[in-house]
Amino acid sequence: MVNFATLTITTVAALSSFVVADNCRSGLAYCGLTLLNMGNYRAQIKDALKASGRPTTETDIYESLFGCIDGNGNIKFLKFCAGYSGCYDRGRGKDDECFT
């Protein structure tokens, strides 16, 4: 009989290989939250906000639009979705936008 703990560990290890961070696509706009869901973009988001003179609060991180500069995952701050209903993820291959 196979030990349940061994089977569980093996299954988790196999499935974890499918979790891969994704780089942004050059030329597309992304909400901060979308970037965080794609991979480890938190430091890059904070750097882009600071470079634009923006605060780095969670709201600014989640509700700002960032442009993908290249296929290597580099981003730049585009705008904060202030005065809107937040940043809206329009799906893979489409620009995210400030939701009105």
The string of pLDDT tens digits covering residues 66-76 is 999 987 889 99
Residue range 21-59, pLDDT digits in tens: 688 999 999 999 999 999 999 999 999 999 999 999 999
Has residue 83 got a pLDDT over 90? no
- Contacts for 99 with CB less than 8 Å, ≥ 6 apart: 81, 84, 85, 86, 87, 88
- Tell me the average pLDDT across 59-83: 92
- Contacts for 24 with CB less than 8 Å, ≥ 6 apart: 30, 35, 38, 66, 68, 73, 75
Residue 20 confidence (pLDDT)? 53
- Tell me the average pLDDT across 18-22: 58
Beta-carbon-side half-sphere exposure of residue 85 (alpha carbons within 13 Å): 4
